[in-house]
Amino acid sequence: MLPAYCRAKLRGSPEEKSAWNRRMGREQFVHVHHHCFGLNLMTRVSMESDPGARKFLLQRAVANFNYVLSRWPENFPLTAEARQHKMQAEGQLAQYGR
């Protein structure tokens, strides 16, 4: 369910990683796994029934999105996506009183 750039970063061949590195730029691709971790954590939240575990997963997702948002330039296409996912996680996290 993860985007192709996540599959390349996390499990791809050297050729796949090199292609995405060129496409995104080294300074962005080097951090993309944190975006992928955040996406994965958001998926796991939807499958978790324990409120404490959901809260923990949401906190970790926010932390990973914060990581990339502090490192990616504003004009990088995934920056807006990361910001949107962070807001979604924070909205869900508000249910648990942070």
Task: Please name the residues in contact with 90: beta carbons below 8 A apart, sequence gap of 6 or more.
Answer: 58, 62
Residue 50's region, left for phi above 0, alpha for psi from -120 to 50, else beta, is beta
CA atoms within 13 A on the CB side of 5: 20
| Percent of the chain's residues with pLDDT above 90 | 95
Cα 48–chain centre separation: 18
- Using an 8 Å Cβ cutoff, are 89 and 62 in contact? yes
Cα 55–chain centre separation: 16
The confidence score (pLDDT) of residue 50 equals 95
Does 90 have pLDDT greater than 60? Answer: yes
The confidence score (pLDDT) of residue 1 equals 81
The confidence score (pLDDT) of residue 88 equals 97
**CA–CA distances in Å: residue 94 to residues 3, 33, 89:** 27, 25, 9
The confidence score (pLDDT) of residue 96 equals 85
Residue carrying the six token digits 């942070």:
98
Does 98 have pLDDT greater than 70? Answer: no
Mean pLDDT score of the chain: 96
Q: What is the pLDDT of residues 10-53, one digit of tens each?
A: 999 999 999 999 999 999 999 999 999 999 999 999 999 999 99
pTM of the complete model: 0.93
